[in-house]
Structure 1
Amino acid sequence: MQEPRLKWDHSQPFTMKFNVMAEHIDFIGHVNNAVYVAWCQQAGWQHSLTLGLGLDEYRSLDAAMVIRRANYDYILSAYTDEECIMGTWLTNNDHKLTMERHFQLLRLSDGKTLLRGHWQLVCIRMSNGKPRRMPAEFDSGYGAAVIPSG
């Protein structure tokens, strides 16, 4: 079967595929909402790694981007053996303390959007958890990946 043309909310997403397994299904019979959230976390972290900002860099810089606020719109359900693809984008970076990340989960068989998510992120000092200005490495790595959110 040929995959449908995928209609992303923004251009050039970082993408990660997920296969729905039996353990993702809840008592209602569809993928549990917490699984969608975990997929967002996995895709967001993989995107960060491709930008050269992983745990080693976070530790050496004593800095981390953490979720301050998360919003998810659960649009449609996914079921066992379906293939899904998560797209994620950085859509804002104030080059000081905060940035934003968006998510869109599509079902590959029909291209339908299952979930949209939005995170507000803040930079903290890992050693004490307090907000701090983004290190230059964060500003250049994450800042270069920001796409217009329109």
Structure 2
Amino acid sequence: MSAPFEKVWTALPEHIDELGHVNNAVWVTWIQDMSTSHWRAVADADHVAAYIWVITRHEIDYRGNIMVGERVTGRTWVDGTPRGARFDRRVDFLNDAGKVMVSAKTTWAIIDRARGRIVRVPDGVAANFV
């Protein structure tokens, strides 16, 4: 498991659905933002320039709600080693009390920018995340 990367969000009025809490689609956007922010923060600049990551699968458990004005801390890490072109990432969102509100396992595939094709995760790329 890689070291966790964290980012904090505050729920704004535009994040709130008709039930009065953060909309599920917003959580998906935050998952993607967490993952790409982690990639840019940890990966070598040459790797960021050479590769793009795309999501191939989401598994999300919604365990609680966040209302407007409340904060969550997103925590993400790579779970395990790559399998060919893919690897799994975990993302948890914790409220200020430390309770996991949303937990996700996402699977990402790497694309070579120059060729526009999925490739095996290079060892040098994986080294920064496992």
User: Do these two structures clear the TM 0.5 threshold for a shared fold by scoring above it?
Assistant: yes
Distance 2:11 2:65 in 1: 11
What is the Cα deviation at residue 23 of structure 1? 1.1
Computed over aligned residues only, the root mean square deviation of the Cα atoms, in angstroms, reads 2.2
Q: Flag structure 1 segments of 5+ consecutive residues without an equivalent.
A: 1-9
**Cα distance in 2, alignment partners of residues 58 and 144 from structure 1:** 12
Compare the two structures and name the one with the higher strand fraction. 2
Secondary structure of 2:87's counterpart equals: strand
Give the match's secondary structure for 1:49.
helix
Contact 1:68 1:120 in 2 (8 A): yes
Task: Tell me the TM-score normalised to structure 2 length.
Answer: 0.85
Equivalent AA in structure 1 for residue 38 of structure 2: H
Distance 1:13 1:87 in 2: 6
- Aligned ranges for residues 20-39 of structure 1 at < 5 Å? 20-39=11-30
Asked whether 1:73 is paired with 2:86, we answer no
Q: 1:69 to 1:111 in 2, by over 3 A?
A: same
Give yes or no for contact 1:51–1:141 (8 Å, CA) kept in 2.
Answer: no
Paired residue secondary structure (2:57): strand
Correspondent of 2:52 among 64, 85, 91: 64
Q: Which residue of 1 aligns with 2:128?
A: 144
Structure 2 gap ranges (5+): none
Look up the SS of the partner of 1:94 in the other structure.
strand
Match of 2:9 among 18, 21, 24: 18
Q: 1:84: which partner in 2?
A: 72
Aligned to 2:31: 40
TM-score (norm 1): 0.75
SS at match of 2:117: coil
Amino acid at match of 2:8: K
Aligned pairs, number? 130
Max radius of gyration: which structure?
1
User: Percent identity of the aligned residues?
Assistant: 28
Whether the aligned pair in 1 keeps the contact of 2:94 and 2:100 (CA below 8 Å) is: yes
Match of 2:110 in 1: 123
Residues 107-148 of structure 1, C-alpha deviation per residue, up to 9 Å, x if partnerless? 11x22111000111122233554322234xxx32433322xx
